[in-house]
């Protein structure tokens, strides 16, 4: 069964770049440009893994993470939060809300695919 990844980022270049790398390695990829769209796609698609940008207009990544973790109907996707801000307080907040890990932008495609393979196989 093909593993499904949701990439949530309001920056189109980042979303396209991540989607390209994941598709190249055989994963099914869905994208969302904001928090509301992300929640709708998580409900409908039940991804195995979510790359979730922290800073987005409307609902930010923290709010999305909290909603996913507080609603059993959304499944239990592995959540990797993406942020341009690498402060420890940001990381602690994300982990407290239910993120599995944090990745700081910019990141290398090889670093990202290495994490995906470790999580999804």
Q: What tens digit of pLDDT does each residue of 35-78 get?
A: 999 999 999 999 999 999 999 988 999 999 999 999 999 999 99
- Cβ pair 51, 9 in contact under 8 A: yes
Q: What is the pLDDT of residue 120?
A: 94
4-120 adopts what CATH topology? Rossmann fold (3.40.50)
- From CA 41, how far away is CA 97, in angstroms rounded? 20
Q: What tens digit of pLDDT does each residue of 10-31 get?
A: 999 999 999 999 999 999 999 9
Kindly compute the dihedral angle of the four CA atoms of residues 7, 99, 97, 28, in this order, to the nearest 10 degrees.
30
**Domain segments of the chain as ranges:** 4-120
Q: Is the pLDDT of residue 85 over 80?
A: no
Kindly compute the dihedral angle of the four CA atoms of residues 20, 21, 25, 28, in this order, to the nearest 10 degrees.
-50
Confidence of residue 104 (pLDDT cuts 50, 70, 90): confident
């Amino acid at each position: 069964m093909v593993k499904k990844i949701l990439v949530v980022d309001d920056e189109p270049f980042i979303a396209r770049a991540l989607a390209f790398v994941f598709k190249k390695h055989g994963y099914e990829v869905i994208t969302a440009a904001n928090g509301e769209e992300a929640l709708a796609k998580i409900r409908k698609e039940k991804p195995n893994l979510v790359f979730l940008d922290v800073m987005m207009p409307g609902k930010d990544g923290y709010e999305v993470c909290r909603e996913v973790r507080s609603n059993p109907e959304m499944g239990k996707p592995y959540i990797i939060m993406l942020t341009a801000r690498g402060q420890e307080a940001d990381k602690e907040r994300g982990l407290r809300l239910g993120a599995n890990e944090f990745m700081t932008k910019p990141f290398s495609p090889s670093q990202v695919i290495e994490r995906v393979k470790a999580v999804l196989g």
